């Protein structure tokens, strides 16, 4: 839609408010709303003001004034407001210079697409994330000077098999057995379907929904692939919709990578392919039907994987998921069909248009604008420098002996290590001014101070179990 059409769309749907959404630096949607009378075509050019100093990782207080510029192509009616409300995703600009704001994650993603086109390698990068999540019935947590705990619960949790539920009807998935039992074992079918229907109302095509591997309500809803920025927009709307549908039912959704001990975490396997002139660039005569260009793209992802981890698996909790023994791939290898490799080449369809790679170590806690942009930049670096991905590994990596495994590099074991890797290896992100040095340094500083150090300074409940009697 163009601005005039958006205004007509709002009138047709009797909107009384306009909700202006934008992404903060770490990766959460922020918003403010204005009455519909404030929406005119000038707003799409000149924007509306807000305080940028109150947004995480953004402006200092003496430079706090910022503008949001709505993107008319993102207009939808918000499905969760009591009063009819038009929703618009916005770009952020400086009110003085009118230049896009360097730390606006959506702008970083837009620059990544522009850089790709400038190389003439491709004109479209398709992304298809498979974001997993948990639907819980209860969550409580607290941390202070003298105590710390968390508690989550689910009617599906195998830990409740002996609970008095008046009556307890059983049918609770055992650990790692949540993929794909039918109801009544799967108690969340209707809620997931409601999420799908709301996603489709928002213009997001869905391919499938299902229960995931873990007990306690793990789920997945798969969206159809889209170009990079458009897909990042859809993923943040996806998060918004699944959380609010759950809330309708008195339940809560989390996209934390590892909320449960002893069972699978939530990943976000991310399918990727490059196209040019309406033709796919990844099919070819190489391994698993890939082109040399696709193999070099893989080479770039693998070469920069340690640095990428700081952006695509960006929380301390991410590294509770990225451990041996579960489906999460910590070893940096590629393979066809093999889900224990960091990069998999899906072999579902013989169609050249379906040829793609699947990067398996990202998780849904990431900021999708930054994560997709970073992976694209790594892949393009691989193509530009013809980086050899090495030999594929068509074995179960978890079954390899120590001698074989010694030759397979692995992901960082902590967010701290990933940030160190990003600090050493980020020149590939700066090509085309996609990630500025300011963005990278703020990311490093924010993550180290707000997350790594914050966690390191606090006693962990399990330390009392291990050490209290010393």
Which residues are designated catalytic? 51, 130, 132, 212, 220, 269, 339, 358, 360
Region of residue 422 (phi > 0: left; psi between -120 and 50: alpha; otherwise: beta): alpha
412 to each of 46, 101, 323, 445, 452, how far by Cα in Å? 44, 31, 10, 18, 14
């Amino acid at each position: 839609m163009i601005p005039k059409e958006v205004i007509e769309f709002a009138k047709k749907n009797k909107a009384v408010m306009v909700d202006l959404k934008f992404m903060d630096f770490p990766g959460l949607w922020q918003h403010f709303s204005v009455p519909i009378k404030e929406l005119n075509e000038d707003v799409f050019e000149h924007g509306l003001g807000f305080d940028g100093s109150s947004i995480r990782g953004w402006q200092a207080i003496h430079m706090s004034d910022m503008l949001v510029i709505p993107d008319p192509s993102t207009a939808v009616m918000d499905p969760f407001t009591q009063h009819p409300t038009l929703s618009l995703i916005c770009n952020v600009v400086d009110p003085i210079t009118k230049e896009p704001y360097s730390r606006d994650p959506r702008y970083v993603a837009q620059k990544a697409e522009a850089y790709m086109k400038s190389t003439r390698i491709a004109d479209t990068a398709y992304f298809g994330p498979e974001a997993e999540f948990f639907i819980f019935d209860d969550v409580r947590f607290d941390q202070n000077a003298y105590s710390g705990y968390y508690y989550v619960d689910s009617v599906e949790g195998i830990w409740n098999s002996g609970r008095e539920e008046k009556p307890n009807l059983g049918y609770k998935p055992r650990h790692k057995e949540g993929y794909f039992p039918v109801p009544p074992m799967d108690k969340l079918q209707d809620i997931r379907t409601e999420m799908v229907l709301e996603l489709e109302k928002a213009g997001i095509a869905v391919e499938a929904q299902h229960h995931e591997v873990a007990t306690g309500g793990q789920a997945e809803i798969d969206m159809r692939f889209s170009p990079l920025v458009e897909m990042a927009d859809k993923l943040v709307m996806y998060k918004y919709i699944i959380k609010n549908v759950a809330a309708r039912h008195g339940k809560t959704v989390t996209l934390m990578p590892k909320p449960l001990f002893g069972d699978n975490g939530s990943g976000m396997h991310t399918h990727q392919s490059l196209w040019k002139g309406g033709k796919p660039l990844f099919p070819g005569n190489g391994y698993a039907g890939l082109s040399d260009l696709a193999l070099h793209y893989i080479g770039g992802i693998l070469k920069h994987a340690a640095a990428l981890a700081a952006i695509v698996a960006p929380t301390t909790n991410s590294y509770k998921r990225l451990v041996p023994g579960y489906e999460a791939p910590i070893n940096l290898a590629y393979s066809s069909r093999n889900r224990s490799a960091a990069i998999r080449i899906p072999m579902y369809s013989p169609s050249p248009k379906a040829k793609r790679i699947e990067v398996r170590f990202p998780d849904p806690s990431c900021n999708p604008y930054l994560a997709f942009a970073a992976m694209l930049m790594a892949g393009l670096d691989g193509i530009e420098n013809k980086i050899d991905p090495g030999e594929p590994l068509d074995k179960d990596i978890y079954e390899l002996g120590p001698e074989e495994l010694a030759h397979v590099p692995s992901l960082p074991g902590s967010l701290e290590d990933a940030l160190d890797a990003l600090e050493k290896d980020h020149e590939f992100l700066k090509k085309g001014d996609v990630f500025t040095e300011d963005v990278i340094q703020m990311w490093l500083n924010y993550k180290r101070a707000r997350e790594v150090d914050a966690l390191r300074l606090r006693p962990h409940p399990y330390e009392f179990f291990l050490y209290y009697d010393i």
